A = this chain, B = another copy of it.
């Protein structure tokens, strides 16, 4: 036997190294860092939002938890603004949510303000949590010359840690000095936590005597994840509209928008949506029974749905955006139950992540939903592809068609129950390894 050919061995080993490196790169986990990789479902850029007369924004670095980024934002609303809101129904909701709920319905001509911090949710913090809310809202009220019951606050971040409210109140003078009408994107960024992109949407409708503008921002990586991904939404309009009508429109539209999205079925302690109408539009006051009123409500619903869908597109670890359309249910409530059973099923969501057209799991989810269903009247479609009907797989369905469809990044799963007129559409995302990475390791 001759001597070892070290040159040949080195070359072979070099190839091996290259191959192993390529494998490591191809492995889904190795390539992913839980940090700020922008969601593959994100819009191309933050949209251009119209300025809403009477609304100003500012943001600052208070160092509540994060370093080297803005983590507190202030919004000033002109005198005459009416406020409406909807909030989490959690029985363990945070002090700032309880405070907002107590203040929201009160009539006032004084104007208003909203102050929001990220990094700490001030939830489950007992009496010191209430003190923190009083300190922050009181500080803003004093600086802006507002009654304190016109200052609304939100906090998003870790649960159960005392909120270092001094760091926030110390920044109030800077925030007040920085207020500007065109700083809405900066405000959207300051409230991000695990979000990978800031979320904004707008609409313009024709009122009597002038146009009415709507602009909104949201944060959230799901409706979910109390110590990191609370959903916060702020929508502004220059419409002239009475508070009861504004609240009625908001409450009516929330079911088919923000209550129709889910990332992982976990409901935050701190979800809040505030809607402010400044009345600075030249258009006449809105009325629920006239065309401008109806068009305003429809435009508001579109802005709400757009923001809600952006939250799903930023769902933790999401790679697929999924619309679940349920029709033919006995009631709307049943349609909602079935749609949410599908959208929240870990087995449906992992199948979608694996691009497996596993329609049997949709049958399962319908079955467990608790809604009235008849196996033999059920039909299931992936997009336009009829997968199952009359209690069995469709004779024309070919597995390869389903498999090809599942490779898309935007999917529609349509289920018809064949029983009645109840319908509901909800939006969700898939369940991937990254969801586990993000949530197993968040606090460490």
Identify the A interface with B (CB < 8 A): 4, 6-7, 9-10, 13-14, 16-17, 20-21, 23-24, 27-30, 88, 90-93, 123-129, 158-160, 224-227, 264-269, 344-347, 350-351, 353-354, 356, 358-361, 363-369, 371-376, 378, 388, 390-393, 431-433, 435-436, 439-444
Contacts and interface: CB of A to CB of B under 8 A. Distances in A.
Contacts of A354: 439-442, 444
Contacts of A160: 359-360, 363, 388, 392-393
Contacts of A227: 358, 360-361, 364
Given A20-B20, A159-B360, A441-B356, A92 B378 contact: yes
Q: Please give the count of copies of this chain that the complex contains.
A: 2
30 contacts: A4-B7, A6-B6, A10-B13, A13-B14, A17-B17, A23-B24, A27-B27, A29-B29, A91-B373, A91-B374, A91-B375, A123-B360, A124-B363, A124-B375, A124-B388, A125-B392, A160-B393, A224-B347, A225-B347, A226-B363, A227-B361, A264-B346, A265-B345, A266-B345, A266-B368, A267-B368, A268-B364, A351-B440, A356-B441, A356-B442
B439 A436 contact: no
A434 to B, nearest CB: 10
A29 B31 CA distance: 12
B266 A350 contact: no
A91 B436 contact: no
Nearest to A92: B367
B356 A392 contact: no
A102 to B, nearest CB: 16
A436 B353 contact: yes
A128 B227 CA distance: 50
A374 B443 CA distance: 26
Given A159-B361, A265-B344, 6 more contacts: A90-B364, A91-B366, A93-B375, A125-B391, A356-B440, A356-B443
Given A29-B28, A227-B358, A367 B90 contact: yes
Nearest to A225: B347
B375 A92 contact: yes
B92 A392 contact: no
Nearest to A264: B346
A121 B136 CA distance: 59
A328 B160 CA distance: 22
A213 B322 CA distance: 52
A356 to B, nearest CB: 5
Nearest to A121: B360
A4 B9 CA distance: 13
Contacts of A265: 344-346
Contact of A159 (B128, B158, B364, B444): B364
Nearest to A88: B367
Contacts of A28: 29
Contacts of A359: 160
